Amino acid sequence: MTIVKCVVLFVAWLCAFPLLAEEQMTFSSPLNKARYQSLVEELRCPKCQNQNLADSGAGIAVDLRELVYRMIEQGKTDQEVVDYMVARYGTFVLYRPQHSTGTFLLWYGPFILLGLGACAFTLVIMMNRKRRGRAS
């Protein structure tokens, strides 16, 4: 029975460990804290597929949160922080990729495909009506 209690306590400790390891950052102003929160929620973790820096527990995410904190406290603008991350890790770190020729299909591809599908559907319907008209 004692071994079971030890195992249960160990598992409970492991579950609580991430909460204990949470970073404690002191900001020079509430504005810096708000900027930090906004940036770490907007930037994607380079290791994780679909988690932002705020939600990721990966080691690189912890390091990048610390880097964002230091850059903000050094007086860097939000755009400078984002530009640094994009230069270092590519546009993958952006949840909302910028509009450019490289991302044209990403932004507008679904609408183009929808339009082509609607045109094809209309064409098939019209050809079907013509075929029925000839048969009668």
pTM: predicted TM-score of the whole model, two decimal places: 0.61
For 50-99, the pLDDT digits (tens) are 899 999 888 999 999 999 999 999 999 999 999 999 999 988 888 777 77
DSSP string, the chain: -HHHHHHHHHHHHHHHHHHHT------SSHHHHHHHHHHHHHBBPSSSSS-BTTT--SHHHHHHHHHHHHHHHTT--HHHHHHHHHHHH-GGGBSSPPPSGGGHHHHHHHHHHHHHHHHHHHHHHHHHHHHHHHH-
For 85-114, the pLDDT digits (tens) are 999 998 888 877 777 777 788 778 899 999
Quickly name the fold that domain 26-98 has: Helicase, Ruva Protein; domain 3 (1.10.8)
- List the chain domain ranges: 26-98, 100-136
